[in-house]
């Protein structure tokens, strides 16, 4: 049990677990104080009512619903991207799958929590289970998010088992006990490895449709109503594309931070940022395409109710948000992601930061302008300004995300050790054999000529 981890390969991955980083307590204190302030603000809201927010009529949804859609969107980074990369056997996936999967699990909980923050009567949340009606898209959300949460947690845990077994060899005390239980008797036999691989493969296939369904039904919350600029068939795919887009941005930012904090430069190399940057570029183009399709259709149709919302975004009260969103999601990131020279760590991180802001704005200007400009000539326009309570709870959500990640980093390796080893030991041969086969094709081609 007392074998020193420092003599092992991949020791840098185990260091944050066995050696407490010196910033651990200060950072923990800071995060907990932000969360404590947010909790106090929520206590006020719980006691007094949702009046402490800036919401009103007709803008009866605001920051909480925006954050719900935003965080659920970020959650698509993880499991979905990891599943696609695993299934296509992209070799470069190895150091990023776990980071991505952990983002999903952390952020999905926070996204779901925002719906609860938005409830006027959180004390009656059990009514959803006792009297739930499947006609309501909110129930579809609850179902699909719960399924995604369960699948993502399993999909995070299963590939973690061999790593926990590695940690078990080095850990003592409570950690030893914890790893002993969680490693589920893993000894790395051939049979166990086979079952593990099959489970991972099965979960990867299962997770993809669930992930797509999650953001589709999040979009359905809006598109199933008759409200102007919400009642649109494109919303499902538009939200899914936006989710993957913002999720990739979130993944790049988290990877860059972890790389710097935990000295993972050997694992998370510029090539990873380059590849993810390319994916981000594709999604940025997708996003632009969807946005054009959505707004052009509304504009050309010229339906009075929709046009009020449309112009409030183009030139009216929300024009600042709208054009900032276009800048952040498309205009500014495009050159950073197109040119190989900028598509390095710094360039992709700057693009990702811009996209995170842009995608949050997108969620905001989907929700608020439609509510502020209800259909009909008679109805008055509404306005919405978030209160300090809403801002504080949003800060609390981000702090909670960092906290979850910080605690995870102290318990489990951020890069899958066994998969990195497998990559080094086995894949070279496999990939070499694959390339040989390509050469074979070349040979046949010559013969035919």
Q: In the bound complex, what is the minimum distance in angstroms from residue 290's beta carbon to other proteins?
A: 22
Stretch that binds other proteins, among 80-88, 102-110, 128-136, 397-405 (CB under 8 A): 128-136
Residues sharing a CB contact under 8 Å with residue 417, sequence separation 6 or more, in sequence order: 10, 13, 14, 162, 163, 166
Other Cβ atoms closer than 10 A to 448: 6
Closest CA to 415 of 16, 8, 110, 2: 16
Smaller CB separation from other proteins, 135 or 233 = 135
Look at the block and give the residue holding tokens 């593990």: 196
Smaller CB separation from other proteins, 142 or 338 = 142
Among 124, 194, 263, 426, binds other proteins (CB under 8 A): 124
Stretch that binds other proteins, among 204-212, 225-233, 273-281, 421-429 (CB under 8 A): 225-233
Q: In the bound complex, what is the minimum distance in angstroms from residue 37's beta carbon to other proteins?
A: 22
Q: In the bound complex, what is the minimum distance in angstroms from residue 386's beta carbon to other proteins?
A: 13
- Report DSSP state, residue 380: P
Q: In the bound complex, what is the minimum distance in angstroms from residue 59's beta carbon to other proteins?
A: 8
Among 11, 32, 139, 153, binds other proteins (CB under 8 A): 139
Residue 267 near residue 246, CB atoms below 8 Å: no
Give 336's Cβ-side CA count (13 Å radius).
25
Q: Does 333 bind other proteins (CB under 8 A)?
A: no
Smaller CB separation from other proteins, 115 or 207 = 115
Smaller CB separation from other proteins, 220 or 287 = 220
Residues sharing a CB contact under 8 Å with residue 140, sequence separation 6 or more, in sequence order: 134, 217, 220
Smaller CB separation from other proteins, 38 or 115 = 115
Smaller CB separation from other proteins, 247 or 305 = 305
Q: Does 226 bind other proteins (CB under 8 A)?
A: yes
Please state the length of the chain.
449
Residues 63-122 that bind other proteins (CB under 8 A): 115, 118-122
Q: What angle do CA 374, 243, 86 make, to 5 degrees?
A: 160
Q: In the bound complex, what is the minimum distance in angstroms from residue 49's beta carbon to other proteins?
A: 4
Smaller CB separation from other proteins, 49 or 188 = 49
Q: Does 181 bind other proteins (CB under 8 A)?
A: no
Smaller CB separation from other proteins, 62 or 95 = 62
Residues 367-426 that bind other proteins (CB under 8 A): 371, 374-380, 382-383
Residue 110 near residue 405, CB atoms below 8 Å: no
Rounded distance between C-alpha atoms, residue 358 and residue 103, angstroms: 19
Q: In the bound complex, what is the minimum distance in angstroms from residue 138's beta carbon to other proteins?
A: 4
Among 33, 89, 136, 172, binds other proteins (CB under 8 A): 136
Q: In the bound complex, what is the minimum distance in angstroms from residue 294's beta carbon to other proteins?
A: 19
Q: In the bound complex, what is the minimum distance in angstroms from residue 395's beta carbon to other proteins?
A: 22
Closest CA to 360 of 309, 332, 321: 321
Q: Does 138 bind other proteins (CB under 8 A)?
A: yes
Rounded distance between C-alpha atoms, residue 360 and residue 236, angstroms: 17
Residue 357 near residue 323, CB atoms below 8 Å: no
Residue 219 near residue 236, CB atoms below 8 Å: yes
Residues 239-298 that bind other proteins (CB under 8 A): none
Number of H helices, E strands in the chain: 19, 0
Give the torsion sign (CA, 170, 154, 196, 243): negative
Among 14, 50, 145, 204, binds other proteins (CB under 8 A): 50
Stretch that binds other proteins, among 33-41, 133-141, 171-179, 429-437 (CB under 8 A): 133-141
Look at the block and give the residue holding tokens 């086979």: 194
Q: What angle do CA 161, 166, 170 make, to 5 degrees?
A: 135
Among 6, 9, 49, 257, binds other proteins (CB under 8 A): 49
Q: In the bound complex, what is the minimum distance in angstroms from residue 120's beta carbon to other proteins?
A: 2
Q: Does 302 bind other proteins (CB under 8 A)?
A: no
- DSSP annotation string for 119-178: -S-GGGTTHHHHS--TTSHHHHHHHHHHHHHHHHHHHHHGGGHHHHHHHHTT--HHHHHH
Closest CA to 239 of 215, 208, 223, 220: 215
Smaller CB separation from other proteins, 162 or 236 = 236
Query: Which residues of this chain interact with other proteins, rule CB under 8 A?
Result: 48-51, 54-61, 115, 118-122, 124-125, 127-128, 131-133, 135-139, 142, 221, 224-227, 371, 374-380, 382-383
């Amino acid at each position: 049990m007392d074998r020193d981890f420092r003599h092992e390969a991949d020791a840098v991955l185990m260091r944050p677990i066995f050696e407490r980083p010196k910033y651990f307590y200060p950072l923990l204190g800071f995060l907990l104080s932000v969360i404590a302030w947010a909790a106090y603000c929520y206590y006020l809201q719980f006691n007094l009512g949702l009046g402490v927010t800036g919401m009103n009529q007709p803008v009866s949804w605001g920051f909480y619903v925006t954050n719900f859609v935003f965080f659920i969107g970020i959650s698509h980074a993880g499991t979905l991207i990891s599943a696609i990369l695993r299934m296509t056997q992209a070799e470069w996936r190895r150091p990023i799958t776990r980071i991505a999967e952990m983002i999903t699990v952390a952020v999905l909980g926070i996204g779901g929590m925002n719906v609860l923050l938005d409830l006027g009567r959180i004390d009656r949340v059990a009514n959803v289970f006792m009297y739930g009606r499947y006609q309501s898209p909110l129930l579809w959300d609850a179902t699909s998010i719960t399924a995604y949460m369960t699948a993502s947690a399993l999909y995070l845990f299963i590939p973690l088992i061999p790593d926990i077994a590695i940690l078990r060899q080095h850990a003592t005390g409570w950690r030893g006990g914890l790893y002993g239980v969680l490693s589920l008797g893993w000894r790395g036999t051939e049979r166990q490895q086979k079952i593990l691989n099959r489970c991972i493969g099965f979960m990867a296939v299962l997770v993809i449709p669930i992930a797509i369904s999650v953001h589709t039904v999040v979009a359905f919350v809006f598109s199933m109503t008759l409200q102007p600029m919400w009642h649109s068939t494109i919303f499902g795919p538009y939200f899914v594309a936006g989710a993957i887009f913002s999720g990739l941005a979130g993944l790049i930012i988290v990877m860059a931070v972890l790389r710097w904090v935990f000295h993972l430069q050997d694992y998370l190399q510029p090539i990873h940022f380059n590849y993810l940057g390319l994916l981000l570029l594709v999604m940025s183009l997708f996003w632009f395409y969807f946005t054009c399709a959505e707004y052009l259709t509304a504009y050309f149709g010229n339906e009075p109710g929709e046009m009020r919302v449309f112009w409030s975004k183009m030139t009216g009260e929300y024009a600042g948000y709208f054009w900032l969103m276009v800048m952040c999601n498309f205009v500014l990131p495009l050159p950073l992601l197109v040119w190989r020279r900028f598509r390095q760590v710094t360039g992709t991180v700057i693009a990702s930061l811009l996209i995170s802001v842009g995608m949050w704005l997108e969620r905001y200007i989907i929700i608020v302008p439609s509510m502020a400009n209800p259909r009909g000539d008679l109805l008055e326009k509404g306005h919405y300004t978030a209160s300090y309570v809403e801002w504080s709870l949003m800060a609390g959500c981000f702090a909670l995300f960092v906290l979850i990640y910080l605690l995870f980093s102290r318990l489990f390796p951020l890069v899958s050790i066994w998969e990195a080893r497998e990559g080094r030991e086995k894949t070279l041969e496999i990939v070499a054999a694959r390339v040989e086969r390509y050469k074979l094709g070349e040979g046949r081609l010559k013969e035919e000529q």
